[in-house]
Amino acid sequence: MAIEATDMRDREDWSNVARMWYNRAADRSPTTGRIQHHLALLARPNVIREMFYYTKALISGVPFVKARDSIMLVFTPFLEKFELTSQKYPKMESSLVTAAGILFRVPR
């Protein structure tokens, strides 16, 4: 996001405004995965919330296929560097995201 380089309070304020509008759009178009994808982007740095919205983007009535690449960006650090992520995040969060990443990677 362009606002990331400035004050974190500004980033949080503008993220909250964007989140409010995307939630309104999601209420009006609940089957549109692209809106859920945008909510996932706004959920950073909460990995559980990111995973939730990316999953919704993929299983929506009109799935947003590019969300697959985005959710892999969430899973990859947990799958490749579990020791680092388990120190950065609470054990329950890192275990949940790692397990979801493992299941997500399983070939169909």
108 residues of the chain, pLDDT tens digit each:
555 556 888 888 999 999 999 999 999 999 999 999 999 999 998 999 999 999 999 999 999 999 999 999 999 999 998 778 878 899 999 999 999 999 998 776
**Could you tell me if 41 and 10 are in contact, meaning their C-beta atoms sit under 8 angstroms apart?**
no
Distance CA 61, CA 47 (A): 23
Distance CA 40, CA 70 (A): 9
Q: How many residues does the chain have?
A: 108
Structure tokens at 15: 């993220």
The predicted model scores a pTM of 0.86
What number of other Cβ atoms are within 10 A of residue 89's Cβ? 20
